[in-house]
């Protein structure tokens, strides 16, 4: 065999998309390429979270992202990404992605969602020739059930499909221990599940938080509660709008800020029109995103009531790294609640209770000493539990183990490679916005 593995990664989202899954798929591809493997990524057209194709990108192209070959395939991008329109987009991507793999790989990795991409990867599965691994960034069936986007029948169908596809993979990555338990519940064998945490990929800010507060109109003496990231259905940000309304009615020195974009932003802007304690901000360029988190007094994580198992909010990796305290309005059963409690980096309140959210923001804003302590604990958690180097080592080891398990013990391992260190970050900086939440 050659002294490196041929690895194909099928994932709808990749750089320069700045938020959600893309930074982690991009980082994983660079981890494997830096370790000496031949890596091809088959991905879609950059569209998230704006839900329109970024200027200058088209399908049918292959480009080099450092040592990673990136092939982009066609798919529709719905203006209103409902459940059915997203499934049509994902189905088109999966069909075209399967055809775009350039040569039989030793390992095919599928990133879910999109779930149908797993089916495309499994078409390459062959004992002794190609191993298939899946990275579960969200649990597809639980997402449909908890958001209610396709009704009960649709949720049951998605759950059945997810069970079938994941059960056929040679290995599955869970990004949190709560996902491991859910995957076992889906019937995935314990010995085929590996937990690899998403990592903190934002570097320390170099901006001036006080100067940015002035630039954004954040007044001295007011408590700034910032939600940074996607504005979608699962975030349930109507709760934040209502908390801002309560703050205005009670004449409280609080400003709720929603930074970013997403398919619910227009709805939320209409809902919050005229509320003086509410501010919407477009995605900030470059280092300003990180500086904004450092400039806020409190960082808000909000999830729709009923969201429990479907995801681990990626914004928490950025929140913890910022050194600011977190208020999480989430279910006690959610991975988000587990992360905040284990880290000690914030406090949790009931989802859907605007009064509880407002009360927690006021409490942390008034007790700056406790807020600083929580922020420091969050930073330490990010450093120790969410380190990029740990993810790098884990992903390289997992892929090589998959290959050895399916292709035989003669395949090369990490020890064979003189690991090359890239002079740049493993995560490609996004030119559009620094919001990674």
Of 411, 424, 385, the residue nearest 66 (C-alpha): 424
The tens digit of pLDDT for each residue in 26-81 reads 999 999 999 999 999 999 999 988 888 999 998 888 999 999 999 999 999 998 78
* CATH 3.40.50.2000 domain residues, the chain: 6-199+387-416, 209-384
- The pLDDT value recorded for residue 3 is 62
* pLDDT score, position 415: 40
In contact, 71 and 62? CB cutoff 8 Å: yes
Q: ∠116-113-383 over CA atoms, to 5°?
A: 150
| Cβ neighbours, 10 Å, residue 91 | 18
More confident residue, 232 or 241: 241
Share of the chain above pLDDT 70, in %: 91
What is the spatial distance between Cα 403 and Cα 244, in angstroms, rounded to a whole number?
52
Q: pLDDT tens digit string along 89-106?
A: 999 999 999 999 988 999
Q: What percent of the chain has pLDDT over 90?
A: 67
Whether 283 and 289 have beta carbons less than 8 Å apart is answered as yes
Q: What is the pLDDT of residues 356-369, one digit of tens each?
A: 999 999 999 999 99
Give CA separation, 76 vs 53, 288, 394, in Å. 9, 32, 34
pTM of the model: 0.86
Considering the domain 6-199+387-416 in this protein, what is its CATH number? 3.40.50.2000
Q: Are 44 and 24 in contact (CB under 8 A)?
A: no
Give the pLDDT band (50/70/90) at residue 422.
very low
Mean pLDDT, range 244-264, rounded to an integer? 95
What is the side-by-side order of every strand in the sheet holding 6-10?
Answer: 61-65, 68-72, 38-43, 6-10, 107-112, 131-136, 171-174, 193-195
CATH topology classification for 209-384: Rossmann fold (3.40.50)
């Amino acid at each position: 065999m050659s002294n490196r593995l041929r690895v194909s990664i099928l994932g709808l989202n990749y750089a320069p998309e700045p938020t959600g899954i893309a930074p982690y798929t991009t980082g994983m591809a660079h981890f494997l390429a830096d370790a000496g493997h031949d890596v091809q990524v088959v991905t879609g057209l950059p569209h998230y979270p704006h839900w329109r194709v970024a200027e200058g990108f088209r399908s049918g192209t292959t480009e080099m992202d450092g040592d990673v070959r990136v092939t982009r395939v066609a798919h529709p991008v719905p203006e209103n990404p409902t459940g059915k329109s997203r499934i049509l987009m994902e189905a088109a991507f999966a069909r075209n992605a399967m055809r775009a793999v350039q040569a039989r790989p030793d390992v095919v990795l599928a990133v879910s969602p999109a779930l149908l991409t797993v089916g495309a990867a499994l078409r390459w599965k062959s004992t002794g020739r190609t191993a298939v691994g899946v990275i579960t960034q969200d649990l597809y069936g639980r997402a449909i059930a908890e958001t209610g986007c396709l009704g009960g029948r649709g949720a049951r169908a998605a759950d059945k499909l997810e069970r079938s596809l994941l059960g056929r993979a040679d290995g599955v990555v869970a990004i949190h221990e709560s996902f491991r338990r859910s995957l076992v519940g889906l019937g995935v064998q314990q010995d085929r599940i590996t937990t690899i945490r998403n990592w903190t990929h934002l570097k320390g800010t170099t901006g001036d938080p006080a100067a940015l507060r002035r630039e954004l109109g954040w007044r001295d003496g007011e408590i700034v509660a910032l939600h940074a990231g996607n504005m979608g259905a699962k975030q349930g940000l109507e709760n934040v709008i209502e908390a801002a309304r309560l703050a205005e009615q009670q004449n409280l020195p609080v400003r709720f800020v929603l930074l970013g974009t997403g398919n619910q932003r227009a709805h939320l802007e209409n809902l919050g029109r005229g509320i003086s304690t509410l501010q919407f901000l477009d995605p900030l360029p470059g280092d300003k995103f990180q500086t904004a988190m450092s400039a806020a007094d409190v960082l808000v994580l909000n999830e729709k009531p009923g969201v429990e198992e479907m995801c681990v909010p990626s914004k928490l990796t950025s929140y913890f790294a910022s050194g600011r305290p977190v208020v999480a309005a989430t279910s006690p059963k959610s991975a988000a609640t587990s992360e905040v409690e284990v880290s000690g980096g914030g406090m949790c309140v009931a989802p859907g209770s605007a009064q509880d959210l407002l009360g927690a923001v006021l409490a942390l804003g008034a007790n700056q000493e406790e807020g600083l302590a929580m922020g420091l604990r969050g930073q330490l958690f990010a450093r120790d539990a969410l380190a990029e180097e740990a993810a790098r080592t884990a992903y390289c080891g997992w892929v090589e183990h998959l290959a050895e398990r399916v292709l035989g013990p003669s395949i090369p391992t990490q020890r064979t490679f003189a690991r090359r260190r890239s002079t740049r970050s493993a995560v490609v900086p996004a030119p559009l916005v620094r919001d990674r939440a």
